Amino acid sequence: MADHPSSSSTSSSANPTAEPSAIFGKQAILEAFAGHPAVHTLEQLLIDAKWDRQELTLSVAPQTILDAVRAIKAAGYNFLEDVTAVDWYPTDTPSAPRFQISYSILSHSRKERIRIVARVMGDNPHMDSITSVWPSANFYEREVFDLFGIHFAGHPHLTRIMLPDNWNGHPLRKDYPVEGYR
Amino acid sequence: MSYNPVLDRETQEDDRPTSFVPSEVGMQDATGDTTGATLAGIRPAEGILVPDAEDIVQGSASHQHGSDPVVSQTMVLNMGPQHPSTHGVLRLVLEVDGETVVSLAPDIGYLHTGIEKTCEAKFYNQVTPLTDRIDYLCPMTNNTAYALAVEKLLGLEVPERAQVLRVLLNELTRIQSHLVWLGTHAMDIGALTVFLYCFREREDLLRIFEAISGQRMMGSYIRIGGVALEPPAGIYDRIRSFLNDFPEHISEYEGLLNANPIWIGRLKDVGHLSAEDAIALGVTGPSLRASGVDFDLRRDMPYSSYERFKFNIPVSNGCDVWARYLVRMQEMRESTLICHQALDLLATLHHQPLHADAPKILLPDREKMKTQMESLIHHFKIVTEGFQVPAGEATSSVEAPHGMMNYYVVSDGTSKPYRVHMRNADFANLQALETMCKGRLIADVVAVIGSIDIVLGAIDR
Clarify whether residues B425 and B341 are in a common domain.
yes
- Reduced to 3 states (helix: H, G, I; strand: E, B; else coil), residue B3 is coil
Asked if A104 lies within 8 A of B406 by C-beta distance, the reply is yes
Q: By C-alpha distance, which of A35, A62, A37 is closest to A48?
A: A62
B116 CB neighbours in chain A (<8 A) are: 147, 172
Residue B26 within any structural domain of the chain: no
Instruction: State which of B107, B126, B152 marks the end of a domain.
Output: B107
Q: By C-alpha distance, which of B185, B175, B202 is closest to B263?
A: B185
Whole-number Å distance between alpha carbons of B137 and B132: 9
Residue B440 within any structural domain of the chain: yes
Of B152, B410, B423, the CB nearest to A82: B423
DSSP state of B36: T
Clarify whether residues B207 and B296 are in a common domain.
yes
Q: By C-alpha distance, which of B111, B108, B78, B82 is closest to B93?
A: B78
Whether residue B460 lies within 8 A of chain A, CB to CB, comes out as yes
Measured between alpha carbons, how far is residue A167 from residues A146, A171, B59, B237 in Å?
9, 10, 19, 53
Domain that holds residue B63: 31-107
Clarify whether residues B129 and B170 are in a common domain.
yes
Cβ-contact A60, A116 below 8 angstroms = yes
pLDDT at B34: 39
Clarify whether residues B291 and B338 are in a common domain.
yes
ipTM of the complex: 0.84
pLDDT at B61: 55
Instruction: State which of B52, B78, B107 marks the end of a domain.
Output: B107
Element (H, E) at B187: helix B160-189
Mean pLDDT of A126-143: 91
Phi-psi sector, B256: left (phi>0), alpha (psi -120 to 50), beta: alpha
Clarify whether residues B103 and B143 are in a common domain.
no
Residue B5 within any structural domain of the chain: no
Question: Minimal Cα–Cα distance from A58 to chain B, Å?
Answer: 13
CA-nearest residue of chain A to B392? A7
Residue A165 burial by Cβ neighbours in a 10 Å radius (0-12, 13-18, 19+): exposed
Whole-number Å distance between alpha carbons of B352 and B29: 65
Which of B389, B395, B454, B461 would you mutate first to test chain A, the one with the most A CBs within 10 A?
A: B395
Element (H, E) at B227: strand B226-227
Clarify whether residues B207 and B224 are in a common domain.
yes
Asked if B413 lies within 8 A of A9 by C-beta distance, the reply is yes
Of A14, A80, A84, the CB nearest to B408: A84
Whole-number Å distance between alpha carbons of B335 and B331: 6
State how many domains chain B has: 2
Clarify whether residues B253 and B288 are in a common domain.
yes
For residue B247, give the CATH number of its domain: 1.10.645.10
Residue B1 within any structural domain of the chain: no
For B383-422, give the DSSP string. HHH-----SEEEEEEEEETTEEEEEEEEE-SSSS-SEEEE
CA-nearest residue of chain A to B404? A81
Q: Where are the beta strands (DSSP E) in B98-215?
A: 100-107
Whole-number Å distance between alpha carbons of B146 and B124: 10
Asked if A53 lies within 8 A of B116 by C-beta distance, the reply is no
Give the dihedral sign, CA B412/B414/B418/B420.
positive
Instruction: State which of B61, B77, B107 marks the end of a domain.
Output: B107
pLDDT at A15: 42
Clarify whether residues B94 and B232 are in a common domain.
no
Asked if A115 lies within 8 A of B412 by C-beta distance, the reply is no
Residues 97-126 of B with CB under 8 A from A: 108-109, 112, 114, 116-118, 120-121
Clarify whether residues B290 and B357 are in a common domain.
yes
Strands in A46-52's sheet, in edge-to-edge order, are A23-24, A46-52, A55-60, A112-120, A99-107, A79-87
pLDDT at A181: 63
Whole-number Å distance between alpha carbons of A164 and B191: 36
CA-nearest residue of chain A to B61? A156
Residue A28: φ, ψ to 5°? -65, -40
For B262-284, give the DSSP string. HHHHHHTT-S---HHHHHHTT--
DSSP state of B158: P
Clarify whether residues B71 and B210 are in a common domain.
no
Phi-psi sector, B88: left (phi>0), alpha (psi -120 to 50), beta: left
Q: What does each of the 461 residues of chain B score in pLDDT, given as a tens digit?
A: 444 444 444 444 444 333 333 333 333 343 334 333 344 444 444 433 445 566 666 656 555 544 554 555 677 888 877 777 777 788 888 888 878 888 888 888 888 888 999 999 999 999 999 998 888 888 999 999 999 999 999 988 899 999 999 999 999 999 999 999 999 999 888 888 899 999 999 999 999 999 999 888 888 899 998 898 889 988 999 999 999 999 999 999 999 899 889 899 989 888 889 999 999 999 999 999 999 999 999 999 999 889 999 999 999 998 899 999 999 999 999 999 999 999 999 989 888 888 888 888 888 888 888 899 999 999 999 999 889 899 999 999 999 999 999 999 999 989 999 999 999 998 989 888 888 888 888 888 888 988 988 888 888 88
Which of B117, B287, B293, B387 would you mutate first to test chain A, the one with the most A CBs within 10 A?
A: B117
Largest CA distance in chain A: 52
CA angle B149, B296, B115 (to 5 degrees): 35
Whole-number Å distance between alpha carbons of A133 and A69: 7
A108 CB neighbours in chain B (<8 A) are: 279, 293, 295, 300
Clarify whether residues B280 and B245 are in a common domain.
yes
pLDDT band at A104 (very low <50, low <70, confident <90, very high): very high
Residue B456 within any structural domain of the chain: yes
Domains, chain A, ranges and CATH? 23-153 (3.30.460.80)
pLDDT at B9: 41
Whole-number Å distance between alpha carbons of B360 and B378: 6
CA angle B174, B338, B155 (to 5 degrees): 80
Residues 135-154 of B with CB under 8 A from A: 152-153
Clarify whether residues B89 and B152 are in a common domain.
no
Across the strands, what pairs with B395? B408
